Amino acid sequence: MTLNKGCGNLLKGKYLIVLSLFLLVFNSQVYSQKIINVDSSLHSVLKHFSLFPTVSYPGDAVLVRSITDGVVEFNETKYRLAKKGAEYLAVLPISIDQQTGVQEVLLYPSELNDPPDSGKCQEYLSAKITIEEKAFSTQYLEVTEDQQAMIQNEEEIAKDRQKFLYSIANPTINALFTDSFIKPLDGRITTKFGFTRYINGVLDSRHMAIDIAAAEGTPIFAPNSGRVVLAEYLYLSGNRVIIDHGMGLFSSFSHLSALNVQAGDSVARGEILGNVGSTGFSTGPHLHHAIYVHGYSVNPEQFYSLMR
């Protein structure tokens, strides 16, 4: 992990001369004390800025922890740290299409910088994570002619997409939860995250969620506290619930037989959202469960391991 200055190259030519004059004019002992104080602050931030895990895979998420507020930059996108208890957190999405190799994560601590739009140099800390390759399996699914027709109805699918995008368009900045995340349902995972799916022998899509098999009517629990931003019947998803947990984190639950919540409701960790069903495009009772981090689908299995 290293400390950098966004405008470090300014100390050249006439700026170097100005710096030399400054050192001659001001008392060296006072100046030295100033440097020591700054270094002490930086050391504290460096010591308490961490990434977990430091080795990740496409479709996963990375947790950033810091003792100071600030902004994190990854893949040329900046994310505001959110206060949770005595620390500041951010969850970074690793796109399923993420390029593998060593990637840099930058932290711009607020206590060391003027606002980003001030036009002044920005000091930042840098850390690295390694993205390794991951092979995703292929699934072949056989469905009825009526179900085949459903996935070809582009008009209805587009309506569903718009409702989904609207529901996650205004995420809550700070965390709406204080506890760890819990799984919404115990059951056998029948389709894992990232599978390439063929339906009736034709390439359909990549499965950006997990399917959990369970008996019809089995309760589905909120994995953490938050605010319901969608609770209604959609064309392919059937009865669907989406929760905003803050920090750019959303959880989604599809094909429910019944809904126990409404959009706008605040829910507690462990509260029943509805029941396992087979509504919408479904071949049998199961929960289609997705996690979104800043708009990206991430692997729920890895997410629950990260946020437990």
**What is residue 118's predicted lDDT score, i.e. its pLDDT?**
61
**What is residue 36's predicted lDDT score, i.e. its pLDDT?**
27
What's the rounded Cα separation, in Å, for the pair 194 and 296?
13
Asked whether the beta carbons of 171 and 226 are under 8 A apart, the reply is no
| Per-position pLDDT tens, the chain of length 308 | 555 655 533 323 333 233 233 333 333 333 332 222 334 445 455 556 899 999 999 999 999 999 989 999 999 999 999 998 889 999 999 999 999 999 999 998 876 556 555 666 678 889 999 999 999 999 898 999 999 999 999 999 999 999 999 999 999 999 999 999 999 999 999 999 999 989 999 888 899 999 999 999 999 999 999 999 999 999 999 999 999 999 999 999 999 999 999 999 999 999 999 999 999 999 999 999 999 999 999 999 999 999 98
**Joined tokens for residue 16:** 């170097």
**What is residue 49's predicted lDDT score, i.e. its pLDDT?**
84
Asked whether the beta carbons of 291 and 251 are under 8 A apart, the reply is yes
Radius of gyration of the chain (CA): 24
CA atoms within 13 A on the CB side of 272: 11
**Joined tokens for residue 135:** 């092979």
**What is residue 18's predicted lDDT score, i.e. its pLDDT?**
31
**Joined tokens for residue 241:** 């619930």
Alpha-helical runs (H) found in 68-226:
145-150, 154-167
Alpha-carbon dihedral sign for residues 273, 275, 278, 283: positive
Alpha-helical runs (H) found in the chain:
14-25, 28-47, 145-150, 154-167, 300-306
What's the rounded Cα separation, in Å, for the pair 105 and 63?
11
**pTM for the complete prediction?**
0.84
- Neighbour-count burial of 99, counting CB atoms closer than 10 A to its CB (0-12 exposed, 13-18 middle, 19+ buried): exposed
**Joined tokens for residue 82:** 């959110």
Asked whether the beta carbons of 180 and 308 are under 8 A apart, the reply is yes
Domains of the chain: 2-131 (2.60.40.1930), 138-306 (2.70.70.10)
**Joined tokens for residue 12:** 């050249």
Alpha-carbon dihedral sign for residues 211, 141, 233, 256: negative
